[in-house]
Structure 1
Amino acid sequence: MSNTLSKYLNILTYVMLGLTVIFVAMFYFGGEVPNAAYTTPVYTDSLIQWAKALFIITVGLSILFPVLQIVSDPKGAILGLAGLAGLGLIILVAYSLSDGTLLNLPGYTGEDNNVGALKFADTILYTMYILGVGAIVSIVVTETLRKFR
């Protein structure tokens, strides 16, 4: 990565972090909606919209940079595809662990207590568990190997 691009990305990171701190501060210290049944911060919608914007930016960059990498280095794309295949395997394992048994929720009349929604939620949870444990293990292994070098 060029030095100039790295400089601009660092500035952009600090700007986005600063905006996030401002939105979170507005959420916690901006007061509450008057006459609401429950305590509801005034800036809840602003924080949610900011989180959506960050999510969309992340998804866009997560798609854009690998495509640019494949175009600039087609032989290096094999490692990226191997990582994608590994992620697919993790999701497949998480899906096989998921359970679609309907929940007994007295008084709930919504449509989300169905097999598809429950298997999807379980799949996402198990995927996050597997990736979280994998991240922790990789950090510990990396730091341990670094000590022996």
Structure 2
Amino acid sequence: MLVQIASLGLVALLLYGAFTDATRFIIPNWLTIAIAVLFPVAAVLAGFGWADAGNHLLAGMLALVLGMALFAPGWVGGGDAKLFAATALWFGWPGLAVFLIHTVLLGGVLVLVLIIARKALPMAGISPEKLAGSALAPAAPVPYGIAIAGGALWSLPATVFAFQF
């Protein structure tokens, strides 16, 4: 029962992170810390041994390195990199690869939707001034936290935490 509560906590935090990134282009540090701190609690409740915990920790570290490599040239934001790494703790290896693939696929869909919407809305008579400050503004950044949260939610049913339900 407690593992399910921890897993639902992860889902709630991911949804909140996607919402804040979509509305304010910010993923709060407390949120990524909460996801990272919630993982060891869930791991203990799920009966992880040292090897399993190390596997998941390694996945989180690899995700952090990947996220920082994408952050350095400005391809993703710092909050995105931290959210990806904290969430990767929950997937371990080889679940990290599945999480990465799902996140990249959803990120591509997100970018295509934003490109189409950014072209279509002005043609529909909506002025750029009304879109200012939103993800639909012409030069707005892509709120990639949406794709990270979606990739995690898509991948979560294949984890050991989902088998606890």
With the length of structure 2 as denominator, give the TM-score of the two structures: 0.32
- Asked which structure has the greater RCO (Cα within 8 Å, sep 6+), the reply is 2
With the length of structure 1 as denominator, give the TM-score of the two structures: 0.34
